[in-house]
Structure 1
């Protein structure tokens, strides 16, 4: 049989159970907290009044959890105008867009595409702490939840939009603010080398090598007519 334990998430073991007792009514209510230790079988045992030491340990654990939850993607100022969706609780992520613009791209030598300044279509980004996905859109100035997504016209992108970062290391700290978070992911994407198509996914109509050859260093605008519709709409990224 195959050992799948390494594929599981963090395993938490029960350590203590608390029961809150209440007596009286209205302003005369009184409370008593009873603590139970948990044995190796996960059964409650050793009932006793909650001690000051145990209460302080609980408060510290809750404060630490809250700090870790709210640190990543926290705002250092006003919400950036290009942010479309932000989730800051469990498994935080952000969705944002960048307008059509010119960026420098790097291509592996064996593609025969010179690295250089290239026109980009409007792009929609979704990133969490460990992975990123990217999509194109026809017009970033009139986005709604029902705006249809288009495949991002790049090498190294899966058909579902996820980006293969290869050996590029993306270091997102647990307290990384939103603006820095977006900058790190965009820098990692644009500073990596585009090298190959993934699992037969052709993200544009026509020859993708010829497309980027025609754009790199030429100053030509990106031809949006080569973009291919994706099966999802923008609202599907908010999950």
Structure 2
């Protein structure tokens, strides 16, 4: 929705928000500058950190009052970030190019998957596993996602992933599909991501035999949902 200034009651420029970034636009800060008049001309004061009052003022503006319906599986939502749950289901796993030949032989086969939690921030995706069936809260403990291509900080190696452009509740399923449509090639860290004995191939053989991915096969990640969505 586009709102013309002349369609509003009498308005005055009060605050300017300016985004300062490095030349790669990877790091930056938002500063607020008070606006006023001096000798009939508009001037901008020195920048200061954005205050809570300014944020609350922005949230009250008509242009920002549109509500978005959030699907039940979304558990956290922020600007350019999202966290959602993927319930247990069978999925095809892609192991084309896997360095472990026994694992590579499973390429394209379908296996039951554990309950998962994904978090996206910008172009980065983080993967975790969940136990139980209840909707997770901030105190819910997370577990390591039992897949290759995941680093020790739970970040997913983009590799062959075709990441969707936007991070919105409507795009959560597309991000999930992008994760499973990529090839799991090799471990990205030295941590063991499953609690059963034996190899990674033997884990998925056990999953097939049990016709489920049992909760007790998950390894604690050492953090809670609140810590994960907070970027800790």
Of residues 204, 215, 234, the one that matches 2:225 is 234
Match of 2:157 in 1: 164
Q: Within 2, Cα distance between the matches of 1:99 and 1:136?
A: 10
Match of 1:9 in 2: 27
Match of 1:57 in 2: none
Structure 1: gaps (5+ residues): 22-31, 43-61
Write the deviation string for residues 116-169 of structure 1: whole angstroms up to 9, x where unpaired: 111111111101230110111111324221111111111111122111121323
Aligned length: 189
Match of 1:55 in 2: none
Alignment TM-score, normalising by the size of structure 2 = 0.67
Which runs of at least 4 in structure 1 moved beyond 6 Å after TM superposition?
none
Q: Which has the larger radius of gyration?
A: 1
Change (3 A) 1:17 1:136: closer
Of residues 146, 160, 166, the one that matches 1:153 is 146
Match of 2:8 in 1: none
Match of 1:211 in 2: 203
Q: Within 2, Cα distance between the matches of 1:201 and 1:70?
A: 45
Write the deviation string for residues 31-62 of structure 1: whole angstroms up to 9, x where unpaired: x9732489xxx9xxxxxxxxxxxxxxxxxxx9
Structure 2: gaps (5+ residues): 1-21, 47-57
Change (3 A) 1:122 1:171: closer
Match of 2:51 in 1: none
SS in 2 for 1:184: helix
188-197 or 224-233, which deviates more: 224-233
Q: Within 1, Cα distance between the matches of 2:72 and 2:25?
A: 38
Write the deviation string for residues 67-110 of structure 1: whole angstroms up to 9, x where unpaired: 9x999xx84xx32011111113xxx2111111111111111354
Match of 1:96 in 2: 84
CA RMSD in angstroms comes to 3.6
Of residues 119, 128, 136, the one that matches 2:112 is 119
Match of 2:190 in 1: 200
